[in-house]
Structure 1
Amino acid sequence: MAKPTVDDDVNDEEHILDVDVTQEMESSFLEYAYSVIYSRALPDARDGLKPVQRRILFSMDEMGVRPDRGHVKCARVVGQVMGLLHPHGDGAIYDALVRMGQSWAVRLPLIDGHGNFGSLDAGPAAMRYTECRMASPAVAMTRGLDHDTVDFKPNYDGKESEPVVLPAAIPNLLVNGATGIAVGMATNIAPHNLIEVVAALHQLLKRPDIELDELMRHIPGPDFPTGGKIIGLDGVRDAYATGRGTFKIRATTRIEKVSPRRMGIIVTELPYMIGPEKIIEQIKKGVDDKKLTGIADVKDLTDLANGMRLVIEVKNGINPEALLEQLFKVTKLEDTFAINAVALVEGQPRTLTLKEMLEVFLAHRLEVTLRRSRFLLAKAEDRLHLVRGLITAIADIDDVIAIIRTSDDAGQARERLMGAFDLTEVQANYILDMQLRRLTRYSTIELEKEAGELADEIARLRDIIDNDDVLRRLVGEELTQVAKEFGTPRRTVLLASSGAPTTAKAPLEVPDDPCWVLLSGSGLVARTDTLAPLPGEGRSAHDVVIAKASITAQGEFGVVTNRGRLLRCRAIELPTVPLTASAPSLQGGSLAHELWPLEPGERPIGLTTLDPDSLGLALGTQQGIVKRVNPELLSKDTWDVIRLDDGDQLIGAVELTDPEADLAFISTDAQLLHFPASGVRPQGRAGGGIAGIKLSPGAKVVWFGAAHPDTDVVVTVSGSSDSLPGTETGLAKVTPMSEYPAKGRATGGVRAHRFLKGEDTLLIAAIGGAPVVAAAASGSPVDLPSAHGRRDGSGSPVAQPITMLAGRNGQSADALTPGVQSLLDEE
């Protein structure tokens, strides 16, 4: 080849064209924008898929990677798609594949992933490690591709073909939503519930002129795969009416006790595409920036067994409801979702209303069903034509064989068959192509049966093609089947407003308001949010209130145990329970041994306000010792209030409020003694007390407390000491305390109950303001007889074994003394 000369170079330069830079940039940018819009970023309104998503599903269908087959490497699918249909980066293809398989990203996953497909906070593993196959809904999306239901186009190099759109038996654009950023436009469509969308499509099939409000009766709002709550529906309606709208989505939360001392905010559902790690990061930043106060700790306890569980522990003294409102403002626990319903319609990007999206999909399904019916009709007619030729040939099979055998070639045999039996060329060729053994297998009856079935099928298909009502009914039936097969209940809750208009005004810190601290017979401790009078006084919603103390929410109180210890506690650390009109419910309270460092066998028996101006504590032991302790507040968390002898324990501890009150003992041998509290000189903490009641050999104190002879009643329940504690119902008696004369301290008292044959002990007893209430071990109430018994009379049968008693003044007795308590001591 000759080398170019100087003149050649000059001539080449003379052919250089000057192009205006502005025009060139405009042209190139428009071509780029067009390519992004139509080939990458925006979904088709008919199947709701972007080109890469459509190519992935088509390739997997061609590869046979269906739900009834095993998983294959994602890299294999990505390579197939990239090599044949999508000449772009493998990362983009893999990201699209993974998203279609993430249950938190799409409402109805189209890919069944195997391996690490990522999470809300982390990406998936590399494609060489993960596997995939089509999910069942994806089969419904591609079903009918081989029935000429959609058009095909050449791939990027013209060597292969791909569908322009999938048949899409599922309204994928609305059900799974779509996101995409093109050049100069973007799309963001929220996921919806399949069952609701199908219901709206049914209405649109029946009434094409249906209004938006009627459609929204069936599709009230989006349904996100992660649940949550949509707050305010005005933005949803705007999006459905115009194609654009904004609304708020809020996490699903509840407030509950996360530890015996702390309340917490439990997050079980997060806004769409928000992960727990992002929330934790935002909370920590809010705490560092002083925008959030009152948070003790944040824990992500999410797992596969229990699902989403984000625990935000609240500091004592902080109002959880007010803190939750702060979290909604500072973190993504409340997020904004903007709908911009842009999709391709007939190759053009359009902003679609709800009705328009439904209409486009419905028109597509009608077209797909019509084309499928025409395809099946043609096949059925062709088959019927062949079957009729076989019937003719079978009728004269010998002649057919003779003609074929005596013909010189296939062409002559065909012509002779067509002339002899009035067959078409297609029928004659079919008979000639069949093996002789297959021809003889056919029987006239079987062929005539098939011909009848084909005729019925042809009539059915022609009815679908010719009758628009039949076509619409068939589309509706197929949609119903899809909804039954793949539909799931709604996950997202729709709220017209926040549902808590007063919460935002609540103070963040719990005010130091007066309240009750309550101790129940089953060992539950709680505080109320008010100091209103306790209805029923001695009764709670599930057992009995055995002690109460009036303090403030930020104040301290004391707990006296049967081991003679006083524990200093803070009311703010107790869970709050409602004070209903009937009775306080301690169901939400905490168990004493979870709150305080109790020793084995130790249990609380009384409460004190730790008020230095009170009359102090009155204590009574199982061996009949009585002691008054002056109020004393130490800097320690626990201290002893009485020196107990070996084998002795406190039976009762009551804070004295009335200087005229009596102190009373009841023993297991049914002796009752009461005497003025003023007769007991107060002692210091180290004192061991003085003799309170003189006990007979083998007897023990079963109840001790303060009493008012003029108003209180005495409840005693007799039984056998040989019975297992808590199993004997016994005989109960209620007697006005005025029946019992006062005796001097350290005497034996008077008889309070007459034992019948087989009885030798009091199972339980108590003195309190009427009415005294009783409960069984289950917490259910037990009816007591009326207060008319004689002081030395026997009792009346009761329905269940009584394990707890409490009077109107809150003092109590329980069957742990002395029976079950001995078992606890042994443990």
Structure 2
Amino acid sequence: MSIAELVQEKKLDGVKGLRDESTKDIRIVIDLKNTAVPEKVLNYIYKNTQLESNFNFNIVALVDGVPQTLSLKSILSLFISHRKEVVKRRGEYDLRKAEEREHILLGLKRALDKIDRVITVIRGSKDSQVAKLNLMKEFKFSELQTVAILEMKLQKLAGLERKAVENELEEKQKFIKETKDLLASPKKILSVISSELKEIREKYADERRTKIVKGGNKEISDEDLIPDKETVLVFTAGGYVKRTDPSEYHAQKRGGVGVVDLETKEEDFVTMLVSGSTHNDLLFFTNLGKTYQMKMFDIPEGKRATKGKSIMNFLSLNNDEKVTSILPMPQELKKSPISLMLTTKNGTSKKMSGESFKDVRRSGIIAIRLDKGDQLVSALLVEKGDEVIVATSGGQSIRFKESDTREMGRTAGGVRGIKLGKSDEVIGVDVVKKENKTGAFLTMSVNGFGKKTSLKEYKVQKRGGSGVKTAKITPKTGKLIVAKVLTGSEEELIAMSKKGQVIRTALKDISSLGRQTQGVTIMRLRAGDNIASLVCA
């Protein structure tokens, strides 16, 4: 598939223009949108077009008489081994021939020392066979030396120069020594192989028809290309999602009106702000009790006032299915024993092993079996020794140990977490860590009233009870909409209204009050507006 086809079919995000500027060399220019990550776009093009092509080959050869499929490295290694054997056998052959010639030359040298007697013996013999025996007997020549002497005509033998024999003998002895040194040294054998290959290259090489360039496409994942940084995920009731930089929101004093965050339709409003890392795996829990998974960096980044994209572009949701909870999944979920606590609108709690969410298929998995009319509203991570605190819209809350709820399978329905009053429903669930028993519980109502209350005021109970009052609910405050445990590490609160107004204020500026108080104004809302969600960082 071509780059243009990928852009036309909207499979390649982040590209706003494509043009061909080729002259003698090929030059393709791809214009990117401001939100695109160049490395990620290039990585996708490498993988899905012919910008980079792999030419695979299948090498089958006989190795010690057995057919084998070889890699490039192994066939090069076998070729070098073959060349070693060739050089070795050639050297052994040359050595054998040189030693034979040396032996003959030694015999000729001795014959020259007594040339007159040698000629006399030859002439006095009735035939060559007798001459051979006589020479071997009188001069102690070997058969090879004797044959070499007899094969020469007497005239040539008599005219043989001693100097020529001695020079050739010296050359042969030098060659024999060099050949023996070569055969005894693997390093010298490799040097011979290298020299011969260079000779072949110089004799037969032609110009390279392709270019070797540095770099090329490395096998890297998209995650390797994305900076690991803090980010805020914004999600609306209409199903629009985007990522923004936390610095987009400047801190304000408590009671401020806030700044516009998101271009939403009148009937749409922001429901969730999730703080996390760009490398987090995100678990999306829906009202139907299903779970989906994707990377945080796969959500497009936008400025504060941009709309975002529909979640339907990323998740295969049914028409009646809506995301009700988003959980940034830390790496610990894949490395250590950890559980997930799910809570429904009607107060049902269910604990599950984190192993169940290691790899969530694209079509999603069932996280909890729901009763008719119930919905999943919360999902969070818990560890051994943690406590869970559940808050309702009517101002009730209950704190119980996570061990009160046993782990269940994905299709189980769960157990009662809190007993609800008439028209009451769960609006918030959070974890009290072992090291945070002296922290605070932050609550906020739909009309912008909020407070911090010491966790010491919430005694640990058995799950399933009605709990204790956590906030005084009046027409002025409206029902509770958010409840969150503060660990002490958070410094600021980011709250968002249904009409997209946002305020960022220091947590130290929010009053610490008792459980049965209504709180103070955190965000001054315009007429007809309500609090949608908040996040602390």
Which TM-score applies when normalising by structure 1? 0.33
